[in-house]
Amino acid sequence: MKIAIDGMGGDHSPHVVIEGCIDAIKEYNDIEIIITGPEEVLKREVSKYSYNSEKISILDAKEIISNNEHPVMAIRRKKDSSIYRALELVKKDEADAVISAGSTGAFLAGATLVVGRIKGVNRPALAPVMPGKNGPFMVIDCGANAESKPNNLVQFAKMGEIYFENILKIGNPSIGLINIGAEEEKGNELTKEAHKLLKECDFNFVGNVEPREIPTGDVNVLVCDGFIGNTVLKMYEGVAQTIFSTLKDEIMSSFRTKLGGALLKPVFTKFKKDFDYKEYGGAAFLGVDGICIKAHGSSDSKAIKNAIRQAVTFYENDIIGKIKIHIEEKMV
Amino acid sequence: MKIAIDGMGGDHSPHVVIEGCIDAIKEYNDIEIIITGPEEVLKREVSKYSYNSEKISILDAKEIISNNEHPVMAIRRKKDSSIYRALELVKKDEADAVISAGSTGAFLAGATLVVGRIKGVNRPALAPVMPGKNGPFMVIDCGANAESKPNNLVQFAKMGEIYFENILKIGNPSIGLINIGAEEEKGNELTKEAHKLLKECDFNFVGNVEPREIPTGDVNVLVCDGFIGNTVLKMYEGVAQTIFSTLKDEIMSSFRTKLGGALLKPVFTKFKKDFDYKEYGGAAFLGVDGICIKAHGSSDSKAIKNAIRQAVTFYENDIIGKIKIHIEEKMV
């Protein structure tokens, strides 16, 4: 299997990207990685490691797309960017998957424009898996589409189900609709109509899920439009960050509390591990005709390595093929 | 000042409601409270306390609206419910404010139907104030409207500004638009258009605020449609709850961690106090022609007492009058 990686994406590139790739080729057999980006920069970086040089190659790409650029414009103009070159490898069948920790907007726009949608999928969706108290959960869509139609949400649910069953090996996952009330008639036009459609489908549909319940992880696949999903994702991060930074400040404020903090170190470490989004790799962009994985902008080498593992599992389980079969069946 | 209180609203009614009222009349002069609900039940409950009986009266209301009922239907049918009777007192000018910890949907529907909108306000909005790391922030609308138009968000901003300046005494509060990207062109049709309108207004408008930044409290008034606001509010509660229940479980798991937990007790207590939503009373329902305050369903007597204090400040500062003046000026 060949994996293309945007060498210049993310807050700590290229070094964490390179390190993640080096770790991955040591751990997973049968993979080859093509890293895209300015040749000189990348060569200097990989030269710091000893590794099997047949497993990693570099594809020169002179341009870089930053987070501040208009995503669609940037993808259209910068055809020699590290993101574009990586996506192109999948399009040309020179790679089986592509990973980037760079600009989410540019990666999603590029994946749609360059790699293209699976025929029959109306809207590809960004689908991160997050750690919940009682297990992992997926929020789909987390921001690929700022507006969605009810039938889009049904496709999101199906793609999420396929992913959960095959990647996370959780059979017959529960599907919930994120809504601002538990009752069927609650919500806006989108959720009311989507609720009706989801109920008619062959899912393990558990109905509406209020955002308060999301972090428990009791429901596996949570569907919503991209604006809501992105809000959920960012609130999850923001609230956790605020709580822990506040606790940390307070713990450091006296001898007693410092001692308490030291005694609770295993608790905080376990918490950090249990709620580490990096464990699940990146966010899959489901519905495009190729394995496209968006790693978090703040990814470290472990997150990159896990995104590579995720791409491998994705490939071995032929998720794209399974989505295609489902969509075709529905269209006949 | 006369305040009407739904005696049967909330998870712990009527006892916490009564207790909150008793505490309030002891602390605030010049208030009289009318508690609505089944006369016998309420009389038995108040008889447990010694208090100035001129300050509290009971208005019989035989029906109760539960959280499971369809809000609009319930308000239309149950004219002898504790919520309806309390709202009616404001409509008839027999009370200056109304507070309920009962069904949010029924209270908002009732406030709109019975008390009525301020002329010129298109959509009243639910506006809780929440504790952030660096100060309190308001999210408006938090669920009164499942769909909003761009100009509604401008009115939300103005009402939030008036509230912040007069109740929280924070002059020229910053106004932000909740959006899934910091750049102006990000988001859906609603946020793109609302951004343009807000920029043209005479606000201290700081632009888009990503949900990740909300819990810091660095921006005072955050405007959004009710679906988003409700999602933000419930994620805030849900994530915090999940984190603390997980930490608690872990702390109780060994002697060492129990000891650490005991040493950190002041930290957790301070945190709980600093992030106690009850400090700010209930959520004001802004844009209706009367002081309507929705207390949290899980309110304790302190939350009820604070909601009463909030109603007093609201009244003394004539927020309704100030909203009316602003709306009239805009309509001339």
Put simply, the answer to whether B235 touches A240 (Cβ < 8 Å) is no
pLDDT (tens digit per residue) in A198-229: 999 999 999 999 999 999 999 999 999 999 99
Q: Which residues of chain B have pLDDT under 70?
A: 331-332
The CATH number, out of the four listed (1.10.10.10, 3.30.420.40, 1.20.210.10, 3.40.718.10), of the domain defined by the range B1-121+287-318: 3.40.718.10
In chain A, whose CA is at the least distance from the CA of B215? A239
Quick one: pLDDT at residue B332?
57
Distances, alpha carbon B140 to alpha carbons A299, B91, B193, in Å:
34, 24, 17
Average pLDDT over every residue of A130-138 = 94
Q: In chain A, which residues have their Cβ closer than 8 Å to the Cβ of B187?
A: 146, 227
Quick one: pLDDT at residue B224?
98
Nearest by CB to B267, from A146, A231, A251: name it: A251
Put simply, the answer to whether B241 touches A274 (Cβ < 8 Å) is no
Q: In chain B, which residues have their Cβ closer than 8 Å to the Cβ of A137?
A: none
Q: How confident is the model at residue A331 (pLDDT cuts 50, 70, 90)?
A: low
* CA angle at A304 for the pair A301 and A310, rounded to the nearest 5°: 145
Three-state DSSP state, B145: coil
Q: How many other CB atoms are there within 10 angstroms of residue B272's CB atom?
A: 10
Distance from CA of B147 to the nearest CA of A (A): 6
Put simply, the answer to whether B239 touches A234 (Cβ < 8 Å) is no
Top-tier CATH class for A1-121+287-332? alpha beta
- Nearest CA to A80 out of A116, A109, A21, A38 is that of A38
Q: Which residue is it, tokens 């606001």?
A: B229
- Nearest CA to B64 out of B103, B95, B108 is that of B103
Distance from CA of A324 to the nearest CA of B (A): 29
pLDDT (tens digit per residue) in A59-108: 999 999 998 899 999 999 999 999 999 999 999 999 999 999 999 999 99
Q: Label residues A140-168 b or e (16+ Cβ within 10 Å = b).
A: bbbbbbbebebebbbbbbbbbbbbbbbbb
Put simply, the answer to whether B235 touches A239 (Cβ < 8 Å) is yes
Quick one: pLDDT at residue A217?
95
Q: Which residue is it, tokens 């108040």?
A: B46
Nearest by CB to A239, from B147, B215, B263: name it: B215
CA distance B233 to A238: 13
Nearest by CB to B234, from A212, A240, A245: name it: A212
Put simply, the answer to whether B231 touches A231 (Cβ < 8 Å) is yes
Distance from CA of A41 to the nearest CA of B (A): 30
Put simply, the answer to whether B212 touches A237 (Cβ < 8 Å) is yes
Q: In chain B, which residues have their Cβ closer than 8 Å to the Cβ of A250?
A: 267, 270-271
Distance from CA of B325 to the nearest CA of A (A): 32
Does residue B14 or residue A273 have the better pLDDT? B14
Instruction: Please give the backbone phi and psi of residue B288, each rounded to the nearest 5 degrees, phi first.
Output: -90, 155
Quick one: pLDDT at residue A146?
87
Query: What dotted CATH number matches B125-279?
Result: 3.40.718.10
- List the domain boundaries for chain A: 1-121+287-332
Q: In chain A, which residues have their Cβ closer than 8 Å to the Cβ of B185?
A: 70
Put simply, the answer to whether B261 touches A260 (Cβ < 8 Å) is yes
Quick one: pLDDT at residue A1?
96
Quick one: pLDDT at residue A273?
86
CA distance A100 to A64: 12
Quick one: pLDDT at residue B274?
86
Q: In chain A, which residues have their Cβ closer than 8 Å to the Cβ of B143?
A: 180
To test the contact with chain A by mutation, choose from B239, B250, B268 the residue with the greatest count of A C-beta atoms within 10 A, namely B239
| DSSP assignment string, A26-65 | HHSTT-EEEEEE-HHHHHHHHTTS---TTTEEEEE--B--
Dmax of chain B from CA atoms? Answer: 70
Distance from CA of B153 to the nearest CA of A (A): 17
Quick one: pLDDT at residue A55?
96
Nearest by CB to A271, from B105, B247, B259: name it: B247
Quick one: pLDDT at residue B268?
92
Average per-residue pLDDT for chain A: 94
CA distance A264 to A61: 47
Q: Which residues pair with A108 in a beta bridge?
A: none
Q: How confident is the model at residue A332 (pLDDT cuts 50, 70, 90)?
A: low
* CA angle at A27 for the pair A26 and A29, rounded to the nearest 5°: 85
Cβ distance A294 to A282 under 8 Å?
A: yes
Quick one: pLDDT at residue A150?
96
Nearest by CB to B231, from A183, A228, A270: name it: A228
Quick one: pLDDT at residue B330?
75
Half-sphere exposure of B275 (CA within 13 A, CB side): 22
Put simply, the answer to whether A235 touches B235 (Cβ < 8 Å) is yes
